[in-house]
Amino acid sequence: MRKAEGIILKGVGGNYVVDCGGTVYPECKASGRLRLGERVPVCGDRVEVEIDPRDDSGYIVTLLERRNGLIRPAIANIDRLFILAGEAPPKTDPYLIDKLTVLAAWESIEPVIVLSKCDLDRGDGLFETYTASGFQVLRVSAVTGEGLDALEALLSGKVSAFTGNSGIGKSSVLNRLDGRFSLAVGDISHKIGRGKNTTRHTELLRLKCGGLVADTPGFSSFDIAQMTYIPKEQLAGLFPEIDAIHGGCRFSNCAHVREPGCAFLEKLRAQPALKSRHESYVKLYDELGQINVWELEKR
C-alpha cells in the first residue's frame, strides 16, 4: 500500500473518485471512522488515501482540514461560487440569490453573479441591482457564447462551483465552456415555469483552463438555518453595500431595518436599485432572529 494526497472529485453511494496530482482513482472507500464521524467526506475535500497497487483501489484514511464548506451544494474548499440567475424562464427569485451570497460570504467564498440565457433576456434589473451592490456580474449565453471568455478567466486555476435554480442553464454553460463535457440538460416545465433538475449529484470537473468546477443539483428555495447559524447581528457585514456604510448611522447599534438616521436607508433613497436587496436583508434578519441557538445544538 502506498499513500497519496488528493482531492475528492465525486462521491456516490460510499464510493469516492479521488484525483491525486492528475492520477484519478475511481474506486476509493472511506474508513468507518470517517463515514460515521461528524465530518463526512464530500466533493472538494482534500484527503490522504492508501492505494492498493494490485488494482489501484483506494482507501481514504485522513480527511484534511477544510478551508470552508457548503451543505447545499455539498462541497468543500471552494474559491468562487458562481450563482447562475436570470430573468428568462425560469426567472430567479432575488431572495434566492441573496441567501446564496450571504452563505458564500460567511464561508469566505467569493460570490460571482452570472446572468444566464442573456440571448433571451439581458436581465437588466438583476444586472443593475447586483452591480450597484458591489458584486462582479457577468452576462453569459450558452447559445451565442457571449461572456464565456470572461467566465473561463475567472474559473482558471480555481476550485469553483456553479449553483442556482433548476433549469437556469448551469450544465449548458459548462458544456459550451468545455466541449469534452456532455452533461445532461433539462427542459423548462411550461406548466409551473420551473426547470427540470437533471444534475443528480455534485461532481468536480477539470477544465482545459486548469480550474476545477462543480455542476450542482438545482433548487428553487432553501432555509438558510438548515445550512449554518449566522447571528443576525453579523448579517449586515455579509451585505457589501450595507457593510460599506459601517459607522455612518446615527446609532451605533443600528440594525439597518427602519431606524431613524440609518445611513443605508439614506443610500437607498439615492439608489432605488438596492430596494430588493434591502427587502432580502430585512426578511433574512427577521428569520435569523427567530432561531434559537439551543435548538440548533440539539440537531
Please state the three-class secondary structure of the chain as a single string: CEEEEEEEEEEECCEEEEEECCEEEEEEEECHHHHCCCCCCCECCEEEEEEECCCCEEEEEEECCCCCEECCCCEECCCEEEEEECCCCCCCCHHHHHHHHHHHHHCCCEEEEEECCCCCCCCHHHHHHHHHCCCEEEECCCCCCCCHHHHHHHHCCCEEEEEECCCCCHHHHHHHHCCCCCCCCCCEECCCCEECCCCCCCEEEECCCCCEEEECCCCCCCCHHHCCCCCHHHCHHHCHHHHCCCCCCCCCCCCCCCCCCCHHHHHHHHCHHHHHHHHHHHHHHHHHHCCCHHHHHCC
Structural domain harbouring 29 = 2-63
**Are residues 18 and 113 both part of a single domain?**
no
Q: What tens digit of pLDDT does each residue of 187-203 get?
A: 444 443 444 444 457 89
**Are residues 131 and 191 both part of a single domain?**
yes
pLDDT for 288 equals: 92
pLDDT for 35 equals: 66
Top-confidence residue, 138 or 32: 138
**Are residues 101 and 192 both part of a single domain?**
yes
**Are residues 102 and 183 both part of a single domain?**
yes
Mean pLDDT of 130-146: 97
**Are residues 31 and 82 both part of a single domain?**
no
**Are residues 106 and 165 both part of a single domain?**
yes
Does the pLDDT of residue 68 top 60, yes or no? yes
Read off the pLDDT band of 293 (50, 70, 90). Answer: low
CATH code at 12? 2.40.50.140
**Are residues 59 and 73 both part of a single domain?**
no
Instruction: Say what percent of the chain tops pLDDT 90.
Output: 68
Residue 224 maps to a domain:
no
**Of 125-129, 141-145, 153-157, 195-199, which gets the smallest average pLDDT?**
195-199
| Mean per-residue pLDDT of the chain | 88
CATH code at 178? 3.40.50.300
